[in-house]
A = this chain, B = another copy of it.
Amino acid sequence: MKTDFVPITYFAVPLQKQLLENQENIRGKPYEDFFDPNLKIPDSAIQQVTRGPMDRRYVKTPSKSDISAFVKGEDVIQGSGYAMVDEALFYVQSRMLMPGITSEMMRWWFVWHQLEKERYTLWFPQAHIDNKVADPERLADTSLTFEERLYGNTNVAKEFIGPIAQEIAIHFDSPAALGADREILEQNGYYFSTSAWMSLTAAPETCMGLMFHLGRDTSKGFEFITQYWMGSHDELHRFPGGADAAAFLRSVGFETEALENLAFELSIHDLSEYYNLARILPKLYEKFAGN
């Protein structure tokens, strides 16, 4: 069955202006032709995330057992959704199929794009502003495995999620360290991971989110499943500063309504950037991976 892609019809004003700035900055880069603001996502995903929050029974918590259930495909919806887990935590998920993509290309991308901010803007021309990695030399060190280069090498991403720019510290780590069951991952073929716990640079030592980004190669293409939780929750206390998140969020007035709006925005953001990456990555890899 052919997926029906439709153009994204909404970019808040700050994103429209960021696009013009990013377009200016990328001029002269060898990869500027890959900068294309005509983002498209599947119509079916749009239907799923614009008719209210997802059905409660498919909402996962960041517990180890719920993460395993998601990996195994137990009680999950196909595709995309967002919802509050409780009044202090939101959940966002997507399940995406990317024909023509391999985990090898994705590994290459996750090193390559972090080394220059204009590369990062290719990914989401309207929303991506800047990013920095804690140890660029380690990230670029081809004598190490992908995992050795990425894990524990925090990336600080400045990007719009909705109309507000966020500065997010993405602390990549192995999925097992973050709460996934290694055996279940391997049984299901998920050998690719760019999972992380997250904090805001305003409170870098306070875990306020968790993301599982897992992928596997199939005969139809790269299957990529994403889960995000943001806010505060008992199950996030296992990460640095997780127990302080509730107090921090209250202190900045970030309450349920704002969290739910952010959940929807992140849902659209996630779909926009990953389907756009899937569109540009094969040719980008061919041209710049130097194989």
Residues of B near A17 (CB, < 8 A) are 52
Q: Tell me which of A95-103, A188-196, A260-268 binds B.
A: A260-268
Contact A261 B13 (CB under 8 A): yes
Identify which of residues 1-33 in chain A touch chain B, using a CB-to-CB cut-off of 8 Å. Answer: 6-13, 16-17, 19-20
Residues of B near A261 (CB, < 8 A) are 12-13, 163
Q: Tell me which of A43-51, A141-149, A277-285 binds B.
A: A43-51
Chain B residue at minimum C-beta to C-beta distance from A39? B9
Q: Does chain B have a CB within 8 A of A41? A: yes
Contact A10 B52 (CB under 8 A): no
Contact A16 B163 (CB under 8 A): no
Interface string of A174-200 (1 = CB under 8 A from B): 000000000000000000000000000
Given contacts A20-B52, A163-B261, contact A9 B8 (CB under 8 A): yes
Residues of B near A52 (CB, < 8 A) are 16-17, 19-20
- Report how far A13 CA is from B260 CA in the complex, Å: 8
Chain B residue at minimum C-beta to C-beta distance from A38? B47
Interface string of A255-291 (1 = CB under 8 A from B): 0000011011000100000000000000000000000
Q: Which of A11, A46, A50: most chain B Cβ within 10 A?
A: A50
Residues of B near A10 (CB, < 8 A) are 8-10, 50, 268
User: Per a CB cutoff under 8 Å, which of B13, B20, B37, B46 touches A9?
Assistant: B46
- Report how far A25 CA is from B261 CA in the complex, Å: 24
Residues of B near A6 (CB, < 8 A) are 6-7, 9
Chain B residue at minimum C-beta to C-beta distance from A263? B13
Contact B7 A43 (CB under 8 A): yes
Residues of B near A19 (CB, < 8 A) are 51-52
Least CB distance, A93 to chain B, in whole angstroms: 16
- Report how far A41 CA is from B9 CA in the complex, Å: 9
Q: Which of A10, A20, A51, A260: most chain B Cβ within 10 A?
A: A10
Contacts A/B (CB < 8 Å), 11 sampled: A6-B9, A7-B9, A9-B10, A9-B41, A9-B46, A10-B10, A13-B264, A16-B50, A16-B52, A17-B52, A163-B261
